[in-house]
Amino acid sequence: EAQVTQNPRYLITVTGKKLTVTCSQNMNHEYMSWYRQDPGLGLRQIYYSMNVEVTDKGDVPEGYKVSRKEKRNFPLILESPSPNQTSLYFCASSKGQNYNEQFFGPGTRLTVL
Amino acid sequence: QQPVQSPQAVILREGEDAVINCSSSKALYSVHWYRQKHGEAPVFLMILLKGGEQKGHEKISASFNEKKQQSSLYLTASQLSYSGTYFCGTEGKTGNQFYFGTGTSLTVIP
């Protein structure tokens, strides 16, 4: 089954404790992206990757890091989480970056205390 | 560059029609529409690539006016299953970044 998986689905952590949210897709998609969703603000792009070893900032990259060492995986790293990073996070992938449908993972709800 | 959607929220009775608008202050090169049901991930509905293009998906269709930098999503004879939040989205000029609209919450009641 074609899908995007994210882990963990739920996470409660404390300020400053490094964490990684994993994202994996099995559709051989070149383009992958991370979004955060906050009430009243919709979905905002954090980082995106056009292919292996090619990543770039989206609209709200501060406090986040990503890497793309393999085509299927695109982890999101919060090296020193803060309460304002409490949010719902989605990973998405698509075939190529231009004008294509994005497939979303189930989401990760992160709470930073 | 986030597109603005209107209305922010709408409540319909089953069988009624609705229109959701999406507008941008910058040029739109394409318009995507997604629906997100409560507690779930967004799901793709359609993409419009050309100015004036209209597309349909069951009883949901959309239009794209490139000159006005606007798109509209039309839901006809709404069903309970149409409830959710609808997002338009657009790519930046290079096609690399992606911007979702502010969202429209649609609730269909019996």
Other Cβ atoms closer than 10 A to B62: 24
What is the rounded distance in angstroms from the CA atom of residue B16 to the CA atom of residue B57? 17
Output the CA torsion sign for B84, B16, B63, B68: negative
Find chain A residues with C-beta within 8 A of B103's C-beta: 42
Could you tell me which of B88, B66, B94, B62 has the C-alpha nearest to residue B75?
B62
In a mutagenesis test of the A interface, which of B31, B46, B48, B96 is the best target, namely the one with the most A β-carbons within 10 Å? B96
Question: In tens digits, what is the pLDDT along chain A, a chain of 113 residues?
Answer: 889 999 999 999 999 999 999 999 999 999 999 999 999 889 999 999 999 999 999 999 999 999 999 999 999 999 999 999 999 999 999 997 666 899 999 999 999 99
Two tokens at A8? 């963990």
Going by pLDDT thresholds of 50, 70 and 90, the confidence category of residue B17 is very high
pLDDT score for A64: 98
User: How is residue B20 written in tokens?
Assistant: 């959701």
The SS3 call for residue B80 is helix
**Contact across the interface for A42 and B49, Cβ inside 8 Å:** no
Q: Which of A42, A43, A56 is nearest residue B96 as measured by Cβ atoms?
A: A56
pLDDT for residue B89: 93
What 3-state DSSP class applies to B46?
Answer: strand
In this predicted structure, what is the pLDDT of residue A34? Answer: 98
Residues in chain B: 110
Residue B39 has pLDDT above 70, yes or no: yes
Chain B positions with Cβ closer than 8 Å to A? 2, 30, 32, 34, 40-44, 47, 49, 87, 91, 95-103
- Position A99 scores a pLDDT of 65
pLDDT digits (tens, 9 = 90+) for B51-77: 666 677 678 999 998 888 999 999 999
Q: Is A81 on the interface with B (CB under 8 A)?
A: no
Q: Which residues of A touch B40 (CB under 8 A)?
A: 106
Which chain A residues are closer than 8 Å to B100 by Cβ? 35, 42-45
